[in-house]
Amino acid sequence: MGYLENIKIPEDIKGFSVSQLQELSQEIRKRIVEVTSRTGGHVAASLGATDIAIALHYVLDTPKDKILWDVGHQAYAHKILTGRNDAFETLRQLGGISGFPNHEESEYDTFTVGHSSTAISQALGLACARDIKKEDYKIVAVVGDASLSNGMSLEALNDAGHKSKDITIILNDNKHSISRSVGAISRYLNRVMTNPAYNKAKDEIQAFVKRIPKVGDKALNAAKKLEESIKNMMVPGALFEELEVRYFGPIDGHNMETLVNTLKNVCSFKGPKIIHVITQKGKGYGHAENDPSFFHGLSAFDIETGEPVKEDERAMGNFSDVFGRKLLEMAKGNENIVAVTAAMTDGTGLTNFAKEMPERFFDVGIAEGHAVTFSAAMAKGGCIPFVAIYSTFLQRGYDQLIHDVALQNLPVIFCLDRAGVVGQDGPTHHGIFDMAYLRHIPNFTIMSPRDGFEMEKMMDFAVTLKKPVAIRYPRGEAVGHLPASTFKEIEYGKAEILREGKDLAIFAIGYMVQKAIKIADLLSEKGIEAYIINARFCKPLDSSMIEYMAEKTSKFLTLENGVIEGGFGSAVLEFIERENIKNINVKRIGWPDMFIEHGKTRELFTKYHMTAEQITENVLREMF
């Protein structure tokens, strides 16, 4: 019998020995692999952070003490230890537990998170609130090395040093991007620097030297400079020390005894401090260790082979693949085209572009705001940047979209992957807000393709516009039901009629065009003939098409894979009101004004009454 089945809360591990904690770590990793092989999920990161999660809950008094997981995709062990082991089978399933920390799910999840680089700011804010209220609890932020390079993390680090609040930051370095080794000298210095006796003596000596008349401050500054010079030769903590955040490490993130002892010592010190921990992504599962990028986030897989249980979307011609192939083809014929992404090379389909044209490929790291302004400047310099960013992550560059791209009217082409609901990653990752937050920005053109073929045409067309463009497309297959031979060339701001009708006009954009076709077929069985209009553009709206349809029918149905408030349907309504078009009954279908939970995409469409069958029933009930 193992330990895991008897652990209901973190308190249950307090009496464990180090060897028992290590055995528990193996059990948790096995549990993570077994469950995610069925549900999919973020496997490699959580396997790498398992020992950190165990050590934190062993040392801290949670939930009184707060653990803040940056991004959150490394928190599976944390979930298992905090009363959710029995429910772990439901990971990322509709009605089950989230794949990320969720404050509504557990008191141990301080924040709901899914975007990177928020944890240090959260930790500092909590610390200020704690001190104002004269409360007493510890705060630890677990941050990955990639997230640390984001501007928000650096801003928070700078402020943390300035405010000198008592917080601890765990730098989970699983790419060796900061430190390449954990050497004997570093281990020795770390033991010295984390020793309570050493730190007490250091503080007392500093206080004594400072009291020496006239020379005290100078002597203290000289001593500090000498200490920093020695430390900086041995350990990579100069940046943090300069920001007045005490640095400890690097330490082996899979040595439980070292982790526990370091956490006990460092968390007892006051002020801001950072512990640099070296971990291995995918630790304990060979396939994930060998290919951590593939096991970053994936669907169900075979444990023995590590291969997907069913054919992976990436091999089936999804929109990301179409985008990547088309952009590479375009770049070969146009030397001004460049590709920009924010740490999502594989996910956005740019892997081959990066290999074949490295000099024209720019991965700026987890820094979406920088990516937008960087691309604006490249456009100013004569390049044609295609910026591939997930819809949900572009939210982080909103000011830059307005100030640095639209205001300058620069030809930056944003390719918004994962637009619409994305399924099991849930509310932090659903890309349902982009049409609403882009539509009111002057100078922007917003397009959405019905299928992969139309997407390629939109990419070609975007280059000719020489102004800011956003092309939004969903996760999943790019195969449509309409043959390429029926394609009508794209005209600026013009929709196309795919099917003639008389009783109802269905205006659909992007992914929802395929649903419009099925809805029209179902309505036809009831004797109702519907026009199908492929809107193509959310902005500018095809006003002449709306006016034309208003002469043909008094019933409009709008379909969008985006939030209904302020989106495509709202644009249609606004035009009708502005032009004072009378007697039009408009029914809008889109995602409601709320955060949509996690679950398979088809399950979410069903729950929110957005399947073709449900929409048809709705139309028949409310419009006929």
Q: Which two tokens stand for residue 205?
A: 């000596």
In tens, the pLDDT along 448-480 reads: 999 999 999 999 999 999 999 999 999 878 776
Mean pLDDT computed over every residue of the chain: 90
> DSSP per residue over 490-519, as a string?
--TT--EEEE--SSEEEEE-TTHHHHHHHH
In tens, the pLDDT along 392-444 reads: 999 999 999 999 999 999 999 999 999 999 989 999 999 999 999 999 999 99
pLDDT at 313: 43
Share of the chain above pLDDT 90, in %: 76
Under a CB-based contact definition with an 8 Å cutoff, are residues 156 and 406 in contact? no
Domains of the chain: 4-179+248-290 (3.40.50.970), 186-235 (no CATH), 314-472 (3.40.50.970), 497-623 (3.40.50.920)
As annotated, the active-site residues are 281, 368, 396
In tens, the pLDDT along 556-600 reads: 999 999 999 999 999 999 999 999 999 999 999 999 999 999 999
Q: What is the pTM of this model?
A: 0.86
pLDDT at 177: 45
Residue 189 predicted with pLDDT over 60: no
pLDDT at 208: 64
In tens, the pLDDT along 20-56 reads: 999 999 999 999 999 999 999 999 999 999 999 999 9
Q: Which two tokens stand for residue 66?
A: 């707060």
pLDDT at 224: 62
What's the average model confidence in pLDDT over 272-284? Answer: 92
More confident residue, 562 or 175: 562
User: DSSP state, 41?
Assistant: B
pLDDT at 147: 85
More confident residue, 238 or 28: 28
What's the average model confidence in pLDDT over 106-130? Answer: 94
Cis peptide before 236 (omega within 30 of 0): no
In tens, the pLDDT along 478-500 reads: 776 566 667 889 999 999 999 99
pLDDT at 227: 59
Q: How far apart are CA 342 and CA 344, in angstroms?
A: 6
Cβ contacts of 376 within 8 Å, gap of 6 or more: 400, 404, 405, 408, 410, 412
In tens, the pLDDT along 360-373 reads: 999 998 899 999 99
pLDDT at 360: 97
pLDDT at 183: 53
**Quick one: pLDDT band at residue 204, thresholds 50, 70, 90?**
low
Q: Where are the alpha helices (DSSP H) in 439-486?
A: 452-465
pLDDT at 225: 62
Q: Where are the alpha helices (DSSP H) in 336-367?
A: 351-356
pLDDT at 110: 94
pLDDT at 316: 41
DSSP-derived 3-state class of residue 582? coil
Cβ contacts of 516 within 8 Å, gap of 6 or more: 498, 506, 508, 532, 559
pLDDT at 345: 92
What's the average model confidence in pLDDT over 248-270? Answer: 92
CA angle centred on 413, ends 575 and 329, rounded to 5°:
130
Under a CB-based contact definition with an 8 Å cutoff, are residues 94 and 608 in contact? no
pLDDT at 237: 73
Judging by beta carbons within 10 Å of its beta carbon (0-12, 13-18, 19+), is residue 1 exposed, middle or buried? exposed
Name the most confidently modeled range: 215-224, 276-285, 516-525. 516-525
In tens, the pLDDT along 324-339 reads: 999 999 999 999 999 9
pLDDT at 238: 75
Q: Which of 246, 272, 226 is nearest to 124 (CA)?
A: 272
User: DSSP state, 401?
Assistant: I
Neighbouring C-alpha atoms within 13 Å toward the C-beta of 100: 24
DSSP-derived 3-state class of residue 538? strand
Cis peptide before 101 (omega within 30 of 0): no
What's the average model confidence in pLDDT over 158-174? Answer: 92
